[in-house]
């Protein structure tokens, strides 16, 4: 039995920290299921580890059990989240744990899923498996912020990103790249960790972006593209238009232009007609809920000033990355400014901020 007086050893903490690292490694890549890390220990030696599989299956506990070449009888399992205890697309992890002969289970926090929450504790106790919970729970709660947003709000976890020059420009006709190559790699890492990326049709036509993850070896983890294009003015010469048949792309629009609709359907765009507000702007929450319904759990916003401002005003960002370059951009020709910096700082004034230098760029992460 476990009580509120349970104490954890330095060894317990060490093994759970490894489980947390394993869970972080798959974060954003496990679809509707949370990314879980699992470590199995016998006589204070690690004998197996497991992570949630891509798209959510198999579960971490099952992977760890299957990965072991030793007899698990009397071993101890450390897992970041309460093991599942119901039949879904896979059998309950609690069944596999019981059958394996594992003698003790330590997990950090209860699952918030009503089908699971708190039930595993009772199941293990009935089977005389020692069980404890609460180890490193504050760290693990941070790990599962996106999962909590998904399940409680039925919306994707939303990350914003924008790059600005020293004089707060986000675009200059004379120079396309604002930040350095290290910041660019971080941008691609964010794309790798999100299963959807959203921009406006205006940004698409100005920048002609690819919106793919171009980290070597991770190209297949590029996010699904989402475009907000009210009148379907997407440039047919753009990269996204040309590659829509092989790279899944959703367009939210409000157009009745039959010719444009026909052309885009032929290119295999997923077209979704969406209502507009009085000011001819989209209802962002409706779009986000629709994206959740379509399976998007982690969404990256890489738009311009206007869409970023709308998300900030509506408190829709769960976290936001501001990339600041030490270099100024020219205002000689066409250019765009980032007008939302004061609003961003005001909205997140009492929130957590993390700031660090990436070579000569400064990155500020705003978190709820």
Active site residues: 61
Q: How distant is the alpha carbon of residue 65 from its chain centre?
A: 27
**Angle between helical axes of 60-67 and 93-100 (0-180°, round to 10):** 30
Residue 222: burial class (beta carbons within 10 Å; 0-12, 13-18, 19+): buried
Find the helix or strand (DSSP H, E) in which 354 lies: strand 352-358
Distance CA 303, CA 281 (A): 15
Q: Is 95 helix (H, G, I), strand (E, B) or coil?
A: helix
Q: Which stretches within the chain are classed as H helix?
A: 10-25, 60-67, 93-100, 119-126, 137-143, 145-153, 181-193, 201-207, 239-242, 258-266, 284-293, 305-313, 341-347
Tokens of 60: 């971490």
């Amino acid at each position: 039995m476990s009580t509120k007086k349970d104490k954890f050893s330095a060894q317990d903490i060490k093994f759970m920290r490894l489980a947390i690292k394993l869970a972080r490694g798959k974060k954003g890549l496990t679809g509707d299921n949370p990314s879980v890390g699992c470590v199995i220990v016998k006589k204070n030696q690690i004998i197996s580890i497991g992570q949630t599989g891509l798209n959510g299956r198999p579960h971490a506990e099952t992977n760890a059990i299957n990965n072991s070449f030793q007899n698990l009888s009397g071993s101890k399992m450390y897992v970041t989240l309460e093991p599942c205890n119901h039949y879904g697309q896979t059998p309950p992890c609690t069944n596999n744990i019981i059958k394996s002969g594992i003698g003790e289970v330590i997990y950090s926090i209860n699952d918030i899923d009503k089908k699971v929450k708190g039930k595993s504790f009772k199941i293990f106790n009935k089977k005389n498996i020692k069980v404890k919970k609460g180890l490193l729970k504050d760290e693990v709660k941070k790990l599962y912020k996106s999962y909590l947003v998904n399940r409680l709000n039925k919306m994707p976890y939303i990350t914003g990103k924008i790059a600005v020059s020293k004089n707060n420009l986000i675009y200059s006709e004379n120079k396309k790249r604002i930040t350095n190559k290290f910041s660019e790699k971080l941008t691609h890492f964010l794309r790798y960790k999100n299963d959807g990326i959203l921009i406006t049709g205006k940004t698409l036509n100005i920048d002609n972006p690819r919106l793919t993850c171009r980290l070597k070896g991770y190209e297949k983890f590029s996010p699904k593209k989402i475009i907000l294009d009210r009148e379907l003015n997407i440039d047919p010469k753009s990269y996204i238009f040309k590659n829509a048949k092989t790279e899944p792309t959703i367009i939210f629009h409000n157009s009745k232009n039959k010719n444009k609709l026909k052309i885009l359907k032929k290119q295999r765009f997923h077209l979704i007609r969406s209502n507009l507000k009085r000011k001819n702007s989209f209802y962002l929450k409706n779009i986000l809920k629709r994206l959740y319904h379509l399976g998007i759990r982690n969404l990256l916003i890489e738009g311009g000033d206007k869409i970023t401002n709308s998300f900030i005003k509506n408190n829709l960002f769960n976290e936001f990355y501001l990339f600041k370059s030490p270099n100024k951009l020219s205002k000689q020709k066409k250019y765009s400014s980032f007008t939302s910096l004061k609003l961003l700082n005001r909205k997140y004034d009492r929130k957590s901020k993390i700031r660090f230098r990436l070579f000569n760029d400064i990155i500020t992460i705003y978190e709820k």
